[in-house]
Amino acid sequence: MDNKVVVIGQGYVGLPLALEATLAGLTVTGLDLNRGTVDGLNSGKSHVDDVSDGDIERMLEAGYKAATDPSVISGADTVVICVPTPLGEASKPDLSAVIGATKSIARYMMPGTLVVLESTTYPGTTDDLIRPLLETDGLLVDRDFHLAFSPERIDPGNPTYGLKNTPKVVGGVTPASTARALEFYQSVVDVVVPVRGAREAETAKLLENTYRHINIALVNEMSRFCHELGIDLWDVIDAASTKPFGFQAFYPGPGVGGHCIPIDPNYLSYEVKRKLGVPFRFVELAEEVNGAMPKYVVERLQDALNDQSKAMKGATVLLLGVTYKKNIADQRESPAIPVGELLKAKGATISFHDPKIQTWKLGNAEYERESELEQAVMDADAVILLQNHESYDVDALASKASLFFDTRGATKSEKAIRL
């Protein structure tokens, strides 16, 4: 039984895992290089939407602790890597944090340790990168340690599915490593799904998000055509959704955000091009379509202002919802950033409101949230709904606005313009 667990990285992936492992009765240490994060956790403060301060207090009472010193890996039965894997220059995966974490594990792990990578990456990383780093100094997988990959499936803000009740895919670099990882995760989550190996587990995560990326691009492209043809795409999607098979609804928007959709498909595209020398055309086309949506939103707003005999230059534009997803504070890769930058480049004066964000950074500028939402809506020349947080009464706000552009299809009011 894996009683002592170290989770490397205490962000949106690592902290929920540390929570569930602690609640399952395991002794958990959260390892993070950010001193502020560690101090906050040890004082009972959470920085992640889906983990409350109360959850942290329960974890601390059950023996959880956060640390910055990698020597805490010594003595751990299981070490799970949950560090960021952003894209670097030319969309090349940046695995520096993963490599750093693995080197720390190799230095401190004891014989028999289970090492699991959860950070999203390209197929083959666990076998071809992590394994050699751990097999330095004559160590061998299955004899001295076990190694597996288990993709994170965290959906921030999801009120129904969390880490515990979302099936967990697990694939080891050997059958014995798969079995060992299966045993660990079965003690933490409700359902564990073993697959043939680490490469299959790595690719499963990339397929999930590539599927979403491509289908979002499809409806984003359709939104442009339907607008020109005078067709209400939102009504079309509602109608198509009545089919009980063969259709899953996806919705257009101002762009894609978060760590998964804008980032993960590029890992798959990168590896296909690197190993096979051919482009992954679906991914590249989806990236082109989704990446163009902020510009399209600004162009639509400019057309709407022109219809009211107003210029974009000098117009006051209020952005509603600047996080990448509704009802959370996460701003990673939010389409609000390119929308805001494009509006500024065209001479608009922008302001923002978001119930989850007090201060919003856009380039070198910082904006404070509008304190009086309704007054800000009435004062603005145009309002763009970028994220439909549940606290917004969008139809009431649209009725007060001179121009209300709804990029989320949330309004029923005839006064609003929908994407």
In the numeric block, the tokens 């998000």 are attached to: 209
Q: What is the pLDDT of residue 279?
A: 82
Residues of the chain within CATH 3.40.50.720 domain(s) are 4-202, 217-418
Confidence of residue 391 (pLDDT cuts 50, 70, 90): very high
The number of beta carbons lying within 10 Å of the beta carbon of residue 139 is 13
Number of Cβ within a 10 Å radius of residue 238: 12
**CA distances to 155, 224, 330 from 292, in Å:** 25, 11, 22
Q: What are phi and psi of 235, to 5 degrees?
A: -70, -35
Q: Provide, rounded to the nearest whole percent, the portion of the chain with pLDDT above 90.
A: 82
260 is catalytic: yes
CA distance 243 to 102: 48
**What pLDDT does 259 receive?**
66
Give CA–CA dist 14/363, Å, rounded: 28
Lowest-confidence pick of 128-137, 176-185, 324-333, 393-402 = 324-333
Q: Cα(6)–Cα(67) distance, rounded to whole angstroms?
A: 10
Query: Over the stretch 107-131, which tens digit does the pLDDT of each residue have?
Result: 999 999 999 999 989 899 999 999 9
CA distances from 263 to 109, 213, 214, 290, 332 (A): 31, 10, 13, 12, 11
Chain segment 360-379, per-residue pLDDT in tens:
999 899 999 999 999 999 99
**Which is nearest to 326 in space by CA: 388, 258, 249?**
388
The model's confidence at residue 267, banded by pLDDT at 50, 70 and 90, is confident
DSSP, collapsed to helix, strand or coil, labels residue 231 as coil
Q: Tell me, what's the pLDDT at 130?
A: 97
As a whole number of angstroms, the distance between CA 350 and CA 315 comes to: 8
Mean pLDDT within 255-274: 77
Over residues 346-362, the pLDDT tens digits come to 999 999 999 999 999 99
Mapping DSSP onto H, E and C, the string for 140-156 reads CECCCEEEEECCCCCCC
Per-residue confidence band for 90, with pLDDT thresholds at 50, 70 and 90: low
pLDDT band with cut points at 50, 70 and 90 for residue 1: low
Residue 67: beta bridge partners?
31
Q: Which two tokens stand for residue 331?
A: 């701003």
Once rounded to an integer, what is the mean pLDDT over residues 140-164?
93
Q: What is the CATH number of domain 217-418?
A: 3.40.50.720
If one counts every other C-beta atom within 10 angstroms of the C-beta of residue 85, the result is 21
Following DSSP, what letter does each residue of 389-406 receive, concatenated? -TT--HHHHHHH-SSEEE
Is the pLDDT at 270 greater than 90, yes or no?
Answer: no
CB atoms within 10 A of CB 54: 10
State the Cα angle at 285 between 281 and 290, rounded to 5°: 150
Mean pLDDT of the chain: 94
Single out the catalytic residue among 28, 82, 260, 328: 260
Task: Report the topology of domain 4-202.
Answer: Rossmann fold (3.40.50)
User: What is the rounded average pLDDT of the residues 257-266?
Assistant: 72
> Which DSSP category does 187 fall into?
T
